[in-house]
Structure 1
Amino acid sequence: MRAIGWKSLAAAVLALLCALQALALLRTAPAWLPAAIDLSLPRGAEMVLGRAELAAPQAGTTHLRLRRDGAGAWYAASADGVQGLRFERGPERLRGGARVLRAGQQFQLGATHYRVSAADAGALTFGDGAHAWEYDGARVRRDGEVLAACPGAGPGARLLGLWNRWAPPALGVARALRMGGNLSCGTQLGNAGAASGSAQIVFEDGVAVLSAATGPERAPLLVMENGVPRDLALAEQALTQVTAIGVGRTRMLARIEGDVLRLQPRQRVALFAEARSALPQGVRWRWERRDAWAWPAAASWWLAGAALAGLLAACFARRRRTARSAPIRIGAACALAGAGLGLLLLQRAGQAPGVAPTLLLSWAALWYTLAARRASPVMTAGVVLLAAGLLLQLELGIGAADTSWLRHFQKTAAASTLGLGLAGIAMLLAPGQAPRQARVELLLLVLAGAALAALLLQVVWGNETGVFDLQPVEFAKLALSVLTAHCVALGLGAGDGRASAPLRWLRLASPALLFIVLLAVALVQVDDYSPLILLLVWAAAMLLAWSCAARKAAPALLVALLAAGCLLGLAMVRGAAPVDVAQWQFYGERFGVWLDPAAHPHTGQQLLLGAQAIAHGGWFGADGLLGLAALGGGALDALAIPAVQDDFAPSFLLGRHGLIAGLMLWALQALFLGALLHAAWRAWQDGSRARDYRQAWLGRFRCFVLCGGAAFVFGHFLLSWGTNLAFFPVMGQPMSFLSAGGSHLLFFIFPLLVLGSPAAPTIEENPPCRSTSNTKP
Structure 2
Amino acid sequence: MTPSGALLIMGVHRAAHAIARNGARAAVLALIAVLCALQAWALWRAPPAWLPASIKVTLAPGAGVALGRHELAAPQADLSHLALRRDANGVWLLANQSQSRQLVLQDGDGERRMGSTPLQGKRAFQIDGLRFTIAQADARSVAFSMAGQHWRYDGATLYRAGQPQPACPDTHPGARLMALWNRWAPAVLTMAHPLTFGGNLHCGNRLGLPDVAPGAARLARDGGRIVLSAGNPDGEPASVQVLQERQPDELRQQETALAPVRALVVGHTRFDLAISGDELTMTPGRHVALYSMPQVRLPSAVEWRWQQRSLWHGAGDGYVLGLLAVGLAGLCPLLAARYARGPGAATRSWQAVAAWWAAGCLLAAGVAALALQRGGHPPGAACSLLLACCALAMWLAPPGRWSPPIAAAAVLLAAGLLAQLALGLGADESSWLRYYQKSAAMLAIGTALATGCRLWTAALADRLRQRGVEWLLMLFAAVALAALAAQVLWGDETGVFDLQPVELAKLALTALTAHCLALRFGWRHDGRDWPGRAMRWLRLAAPALLFLALLGLALVQVDDYSPLILLLVWSTSMALAYAVAARNGKLAAALLLLVLAAIAAIAWLRLAGTDDLIRWGFYADRFLVWLNPAEHPHTGQQLLLGAQAITDGGWWGADHLLGLRTLGQPLGAVQRIPAVQDDFAPSLFLNRHGLAAGLLLWATQAAFVTGIAVAAARRLAAGAMARHHRAAWAGRFAYFALCGGAAFVLGHFLLSWGTNLAIFPIMGQPMSFLSAGGSHLLFFLCPLLALVKASAPSSAPSDI
TM-score bracket relative to the smaller structure = over 0.9
Residue in structure 2 matched with residue 546 of structure 1 by the alignment: 578
Please give the alpha-carbon distance, in whole angstroms, between the structure 1 residues aligned to 2:61 and 2:581. 81
Q: Secondary structure at the match of 1:117?
A: strand
1:452-489 C-alpha deviation (Å, 9 max, x unpaired): 22222222222111111111111110011111101110
> Residue type matched to 1:586 in 2?
F
Identify the match of residue 112 of structure 1 among 108, 127, 130. 130
> Residue type matched to 1:373 in 2?
P
Residue in structure 1 matched with residue 545 of structure 2 by the alignment: 512
Please give the alpha-carbon distance, in whole angstroms, between the structure 2 residues aligned to 1:328 and 1:259. 60
Please give the alpha-carbon distance, in whole angstroms, between the structure 2 residues aligned to 1:502 and 1:462. 38
Is residue 292 from structure 1 mapped to residue 302 from structure 2 by the alignment? Answer: no
Is residue 598 from structure 1 mapped to residue 630 from structure 2 by the alignment? Answer: yes
Residue in structure 2 matched with residue 773 of structure 1 by the alignment: none
Residue in structure 2 matched with residue 139 of structure 1 by the alignment: 157
Q: Secondary structure at the match of 2:202?
A: coil
Please give the alpha-carbon distance, in whole angstroms, between the structure 2 residues aligned to 1:403 and 1:224. 43
1:701-736 C-alpha deviation (Å, 9 max, x unpaired): 011000000000000000000000011113231100
Identify the match of residue 449 of structure 1 among 478, 485, 490. 478
1:104-148 C-alpha deviation (Å, 9 max, x unpaired): 332211231112221122111111233111001111001111111
Residue in structure 2 matched with residue 179 of structure 1 by the alignment: 197
Assess if the C-alpha contact under 8 Å between 2:198 and 2:207 holds in 1: yes
Is residue 709 from structure 1 mapped to residue 709 from structure 2 by the alignment? Answer: no
Please give the alpha-carbon distance, in whole angstroms, between the structure 1 residues aligned to 2:128 and 2:37. 62
Residues 1:593 and 1:30: Cα distance change in structure 2 (over 3 Å): same
Identify the match of residue 476 of structure 1 among 505, 510, 517. 505
Residues 1:621 and 1:314: Cα distance change in structure 2 (over 3 Å): farther
Q: Secondary structure at the match of 1:126?
A: strand
> Residue type matched to 1:249 in 2?
H
**CA-CA distance at 1:231 after TM superposition:** 2.5
Please give the alpha-carbon distance, in whole angstroms, between the structure 2 residues aligned to 1:53 and 1:252. 13
Residues 1:174 and 1:499: Cα distance change in structure 2 (over 3 Å): farther
Assess if the C-alpha contact under 8 Å between 2:61 and 2:88 holds in 1: yes
**CA-CA distance at 1:191 after TM superposition:** 1.0
Residues 1:580 and 1:211: Cα distance change in structure 2 (over 3 Å): farther
Residue in structure 2 matched with residue 280 of structure 1 by the alignment: 299
Please give the alpha-carbon distance, in whole angstroms, between the structure 2 residues aligned to 1:586 and 1:501. 38
> Residue type matched to 1:410 in 2?
Q
**CA-CA distance at 1:368 after TM superposition:** 2.7
CA RMSD of aligned residues (A): 2.5
Is residue 58 from structure 1 mapped to residue 72 from structure 2 by the alignment? Answer: no
Residue in structure 2 matched with residue 766 of structure 1 by the alignment: none
Please give the alpha-carbon distance, in whole angstroms, between the structure 2 residues aligned to 1:314 and 1:417. 20
Q: When the two structures are aligned, how many residues end up with a matched partner? A: 761
Question: Where do 1:552-567 residues align within 5 Å?
Answer: 552-567=584-599
Is residue 523 from structure 1 mapped to residue 556 from structure 2 by the alignment? Answer: yes
Please give the alpha-carbon distance, in whole angstroms, between the structure 1 residues aligned to 2:752 and 2:443. 21
Identify the match of residue 362 of structure 2 among 320, 326, 336. 336
**CA-CA distance at 1:163 after TM superposition:** 2.0
> Residue type matched to 1:454 in 2?
A
Residues 1:325 and 1:441: Cα distance change in structure 2 (over 3 Å): closer
Is residue 619 from structure 1 mapped to residue 624 from structure 2 by the alignment? Answer: no
Identify the match of residue 414 of structure 1 among 435, 441, 459. 441
Please give the alpha-carbon distance, in whole angstroms, between the structure 2 residues aligned to 1:445 and 1:176. 35
Is residue 749 from structure 1 mapped to residue 781 from structure 2 by the alignment? Answer: yes
**CA-CA distance at 1:410 after TM superposition:** 1.0
Residue in structure 1 matched with residue 432 of structure 2 by the alignment: 405
**CA-CA distance at 1:654 after TM superposition:** 0.6
Deviates more, 1:403-412 or 1:106-115: 106-115
Residue in structure 1 matched with residue 371 of structure 2 by the alignment: 345
Assess if the C-alpha contact under 8 Å between 2:152 and 2:159 holds in 1: yes
Residue in structure 2 matched with residue 391 of structure 1 by the alignment: 418
1:56-107 C-alpha deviation (Å, 9 max, x unpaired): 0126345210122233221211124443311100351011111111243322
**CA-CA distance at 1:541 after TM superposition:** 0.5
Give me the TM-score of the superposition, normalised by structure 2.
Answer: 0.91
Assess if the C-alpha contact under 8 Å between 1:109 and 1:219 holds in 2: yes
**CA-CA distance at 1:519 after TM superposition:** 1.5
**CA-CA distance at 1:219 after TM superposition:** 1.3
Residue in structure 2 matched with residue 638 of structure 1 by the alignment: 670
**CA-CA distance at 1:558 after TM superposition:** 1.2
Please give the alpha-carbon distance, in whole angstroms, between the structure 1 residues aligned to 2:100 and 2:694. 42
> Residue type matched to 2:550 in 1?
V
**CA-CA distance at 1:335 after TM superposition:** 0.8
Identify the match of residue 262 of structure 2 among 227, 243, 253. 243
**CA-CA distance at 1:312 after TM superposition:** 8.7
Identify the match of residue 165 of structure 1 among 180, 183, 199. 183
**CA-CA distance at 1:587 after TM superposition:** 0.7
Please give the alpha-carbon distance, in whole angstroms, between the structure 2 residues aligned to 1:636 and 1:222. 44
**CA-CA distance at 1:568 after TM superposition:** 0.5
Please give the alpha-carbon distance, in whole angstroms, between the structure 2 residues aligned to 1:401 and 1:104. 45
Please give the alpha-carbon distance, in whole angstroms, between the structure 2 residues aligned to 1:187 and 1:213. 14
Q: Secondary structure at the match of 1:584?
A: coil
Assess if the C-alpha contact under 8 Å between 1:307 and 1:361 holds in 2: no
Residue in structure 1 matched with residue 12 of structure 2 by the alignment: none
Residue in structure 1 matched with residue 391 of structure 2 by the alignment: 365
Residues 1:15 and 1:237: Cα distance change in structure 2 (over 3 Å): same
Please give the alpha-carbon distance, in whole angstroms, between the structure 1 residues aligned to 2:706 and 2:330. 31
Percent sequence identity over aligned pairs: 48
> Residue type matched to 1:747 in 2?
F
Please give the alpha-carbon distance, in whole angstroms, between the structure 2 residues aligned to 1:39 and 1:730. 44
Residues 1:315 and 1:580: Cα distance change in structure 2 (over 3 Å): farther
> Residue type matched to 1:10 in 2?
V
Q: Secondary structure at the match of 2:84?
A: strand
Give me the TM-score of the superposition, normalised by structure 1.
Answer: 0.94
Deviates more, 1:147-156 or 1:163-172: 163-172
Please give the alpha-carbon distance, in whole angstroms, between the structure 2 residues aligned to 1:222 and 1:619. 59
Q: Secondary structure at the match of 1:470?
A: coil
Residues 1:678 and 1:307: Cα distance change in structure 2 (over 3 Å): farther
Please give the alpha-carbon distance, in whole angstroms, between the structure 2 residues aligned to 1:102 and 1:696. 64
